[in-house]
Amino acid sequence: MRKKLAAGNWKMNGTSNAMTEVTDLAARFPESNVDILICPPATALSQLSGILEQSPIATGGQDCHVALSGAHTGDISAEMLKDVGAGYVILGHSERRDSYNEVSETVRAKARTAISAGLTAIVCLGESHVQREANNTLDIIGGQLAGSVPDGATGANLVVAYEPVWAIGTGLVPSLEQIAEVHAFIRTRLIRRFGEVTGIDIRILYGGSVKAANATGIFAVADVDGALVGGASLKADDFAGIINALQQA
Ligand code: PGA
């Protein structure tokens, strides 16, 4: 059975002041029947990993370089993330695909490196509003999935996150039917590529304006194995509401 995952993506938010939120969250979940993850900015990872040492809450990065080390000013490697306690890394988030022209080929190379460093790669996919309006959603998702996920992926080293670009940070959420359609499509493609056992083992998260108020409905959709949460992961209260909904799903 796939273990569900509530993953928080803090994006470019989180200085020392945010640590009280983490302490608060850890106190609420001394144990958990679902996986919980916070991906803070890389600058906060070490501190966060320290605070969460005795907690079931894991930490992760938001990106890594294709190489494990070398002359890449300003970049951070998968090995460095691992070194400060990270277990996961988000890759191919639409904000990185947009701002840094990250194409699926790059995301795949990064995922390969992250996995080789012992991290679980959370590979993000999502269509734009224009692409959905043009009825191209499944083509886009199929292409990004095939291009971004490396060979050798397993349920232990890979998580897929479906995040419609138009739903991120907008308060807009696809209908449950739309979420169900894309998640079923991703599941079918994973099974076709990796076989029945591995294809069923890989977790598929939904992301884009998930809040405590809409989480229960989203988590009831087949093949939704949890959420990748941006804004609502910054406050312990908000994120705890989502985690509780997942624990009860
Ligand atoms: P949001 O972001 O929850 O603020 O919409 C989700 C994400 O970008 O992962």
Cα of 71 to ligand 1 centre, how many Å?
Answer: 32
Task: List own/partner pairs for 45-51 with CB under 8 A and 24 or more apart.
Answer: 45/81, 45/84, 45/85, 45/86, 46/84, 46/85, 47/16, 47/19, 48/19, 48/22, 48/85, 49/84, 49/85, 49/86, 50/85, 51/19, 51/22, 51/23, 51/26
Name which residue sits closest to atom 1 of ligand 1, judged by CA.
Answer: 230
pLDDT for res 113:
98
Residue 62 has pLDDT above 90, yes or no: yes
Determine the residue of 160, 170, 229, 234 to mutate for testing ligand 1's pocket, defined as the one with the most ligand atoms within 8 A of the Cβ atom. Answer: 229
Residue 60 has pLDDT above 90, yes or no: yes
Cα of 161 to ligand 1 centre, how many Å?
Answer: 11
Confidence of residue 126 (pLDDT cuts 50, 70, 90): very high
Q: Give me the residue spans of the domains in the chain.
A: 5-234
Residue 227 has pLDDT above 90, yes or no: yes
Confidence of residue 74 (pLDDT cuts 50, 70, 90): very high
Percent of the chain with pLDDT over 70: 100
pLDDT for res 211:
98
Active site (annotated) includes residue 65? no
Cα of 230 to ligand 1 centre, how many Å?
Answer: 3
d(C-alpha 15, C-alpha 21), whole Å: 11
- Give the atom of ligand 1 at the shortest distance from the alpha carbon of 167: 5
Helix (H) or strand (E) holding 39: strand 35-39
Neighbour-count burial of 73, counting CB atoms closer than 10 A to its CB (0-12 exposed, 13-18 middle, 19+ buried): exposed
d(C-alpha 199, C-alpha 12), whole Å: 33
pLDDT for res 193:
98
Residue 183 has pLDDT above 90, yes or no: yes
Ligand 1 neighbourhood includes 238 CB (under 6 angstroms): no
Averaged pLDDT, 10-21: 96
Confidence of residue 88 (pLDDT cuts 50, 70, 90): very high
pLDDT 10s digits, 166-179: 999 999 999 999 99
Confidence of residue 194 (pLDDT cuts 50, 70, 90): very high
pLDDT for res 63:
98
d(C-alpha 183, C-alpha 178), whole Å: 9
Are β-strands 57-61 and 35-39 bridged in parallel, bridged antiparallel, or unpaired?
Answer: parallel
Catalytic entry in 21, 79, 93, 102: 93
Determine the residue of 91, 99, 125, 228 to mutate for testing ligand 1's pocket, defined as the one with the most ligand atoms within 8 A of the Cβ atom. Answer: 228
Percent of the chain with pLDDT over 90: 100
Determine the residue of 13, 38, 94, 209 to mutate for testing ligand 1's pocket, defined as the one with the most ligand atoms within 8 A of the Cβ atom. Answer: 209
5-234: CATH class: alpha beta
Residue 143 has pLDDT above 90, yes or no: yes
Cα of 163 to ligand 1 centre, how many Å?
Answer: 8
Q: What is the mean pLDDT of the chain?
A: 97
Confidence of residue 1 (pLDDT cuts 50, 70, 90): confident
Name which residue sits closest to atom 3 of ligand 1, judged by CA.
Answer: 230
pLDDT for res 97:
97
Residue 100 has pLDDT above 90, yes or no: yes
CA–centroid distance for 2 within its chain: 15
Active site (annotated) includes residue 129? no
Ligand 1 neighbourhood includes 14 CB (under 6 angstroms): no
Backbone angles phi, psi at 226, to 5 degrees: 145, -165
Confidence of residue 142 (pLDDT cuts 50, 70, 90): very high
Sequence-separated (6 or more) residues with CB below 8 Å from residue 81: 42, 45, 60, 61, 64, 89, 114, 117, 119
Cα of 197 to ligand 1 centre, how many Å?
Answer: 30
Ligand 1 neighbourhood includes 228 CB (under 6 angstroms): yes
